[in-house]
Amino acid sequence: MQVTEIDKRLAALAEEKDALNAELNEILALDEDFDEKEQARADEIQKELAKLEKKVALNESLRKDASEKPRPKPANKPLAEIPNNTKPAWEEDACLGYKRERDFFADVIAAGQGKRLESDSQQKLNYLATAGSDEQMGSNDAYGGFLVPEGFLAQLYQVGPEMDPIGSRVTNIPMGNPTVKIPARTDKNHSTSVSGGLTVARRHETQSPTSSRMQFETVTLSANTLMGLTYATEELMADSAISLAAIMQAGYQDQFVAAKIRERIRGTGAGEFEGILNCPATIEVSRETANVITDQDVTAMRARAYNYGNSIWIANHDTLVTLMGIYIPFSTISAQPLFSPGNGTDKPDTLLGRPIVFSEYASTLADTGDLILADFSQYLEGTYQGMQNASSMHVRFLNHENTFKFWERCDGKSWWKSALTPQNGAATLSPFVVLDTNT
């Protein structure tokens, strides 16, 4: 074998050693408490370095043999003169005789930098580098990893709809028929009567009283169908480790809740709930300054609210920073914050003394409805059919697919058809007040 070929091989081995040493230094330089993944890579690098050292030693021996004359073979020593090959004491120690972790890492870093170590320390590192290079192991696919099965947890993680701030506050109406008419008193003009037209007056004992009569109206709830549809292959139904039908049922339950939250706020009333943003009784308060919410906006909404003590605020998440920074100035040196943060459990956030809920279904900041003040006891919601479901294999029989459908028949709206005119005062009142845009 030519000497030049050995030199080339030794140069390639040196480059490979330098690259591994550089990577090892980067890992060890992180800190003394690097994680299991970094520890595993460091151990692997040391094994590779030990193998390279053996290759380097073998090639250097070949180069030396090629440049020197063969030496006579030494005579065999008598068996009595062969030293007893006993293991050093540190091999039996789990810490290899190191008293501190930093001493071990110092030796590893020094070896990686090519520094000369004491004989005992070098033997310890060589021992570690060659350990674990000839066994079956689960971390290497070719030497056993393929035999280790992967686990599967039959549990689906998911993000459900946000907390429903409205459903528990509405007035539920039982619907025995698809359409239900509910009588109501027409009593939203208090300038002359609070009872829908009836009046009373003082009279002289001989004076005839003035007659009056009560006026009525009806509120109609018509159950419209809210429906969802899904197709699934028979193969997926059979092979899934989790019941696909149960997953879809839970998913549609979440979706129905989300749809009704949106409709209670934004529904058009045509084939769906009439949301408070489209209710004829809703009062829109003009925003003082564009793109922000000010203390004047909040107090102006409070002034137009009917039955404020039973109302809640609903705001988009975008408004939180603005709301937390508004105050009512009492003097040049003191101010009263309108927003009071809760503790996230039993104490809610409040705005001007009433609970405030942040919802993704409110409008974004600066749009109409980014801040809502509502008494949802004045909102009627009727359910003719609760959530139903059915499946069929016949709709897509040739496609080998199953059909799942989910539906609910319900309706909702405010029974207020107009805002309330107070006996005294120019501004009307309503259980639903929203902040308008500033154009």
pLDDT at 34: 61
39-53, 224-238, 373-387: least confidently modelled range: 39-53
Taking only the tens place, the pLDDT of each residue in 1-21 is 445 677 777 788 788 888 878
% of the chain surpassing 70 pLDDT:
88
Q: What is the pLDDT of residues 175-230, one digit of tens each?
A: 999 999 999 999 999 999 999 999 999 988 888 889 999 999 999 999 999 999 99
For residue 348, the model assigns a pLDDT of 93
**Cα–Cα distances in Å, from 289 out to 255, 298, 301, 331, 438?**
36, 12, 15, 22, 7
The per-residue pLDDT for 102 is 73
62 close to 6: Cβ distance less than 8 angstroms: yes
Measured CA to CA, the distance from residue 168 to residue 381 in angstroms comes to: 11
The answer to whether residue 160 scores a pLDDT higher than 50 is yes
pLDDT higher than 80, residue 105 = no
Q: How far is CA 285 from CA 267, 276, 321, 339, in A?
A: 20, 14, 21, 19
Contacts of residue 305, Cβ cutoff 8 Å, sequence gap at least 6: 311, 373, 375, 429, 430, 431, 433
The structural domains of the chain, ordered by start, are 3-68+90-145 (no CATH), 171-435 (3.30.2400.10)
Mean pLDDT taken over the chain: 86
Question: Are the CB atoms for 414 and 394 separated by under 8 Å?
Answer: no
Distance between CA 439 and CA 430 in Å, rounded?
23
Model-level pTM? Answer: 0.67
Taking a C-beta distance cutoff of 8 angstroms, is the pair 6, 28 a contact?
no
Is 391 or 10 the better-scoring residue by pLDDT?
391
User: How confident is the model at residue 259, as a pLDDT?
Assistant: 96
- Taking only the tens place, the pLDDT of each residue in 328-377 is 877 656 788 999 999 888 899 999 999 999 999 999 999 999 999 999 99
| Most confident of the ranges 72-76, 318-322, 325-329 | 318-322
* Number of Cβ atoms within 10 Å of the Cβ of 74: 6
- Measured in degrees and rounded to the nearest 5, phi and psi for residue 228 equal -135, 150
Q: Which residue reads 């309706």 in tokens?
A: 411
Average pLDDT over residues 265-292: 96
Identify the helix (H) or strand (E) that includes residue 340. Answer: strand 339-340
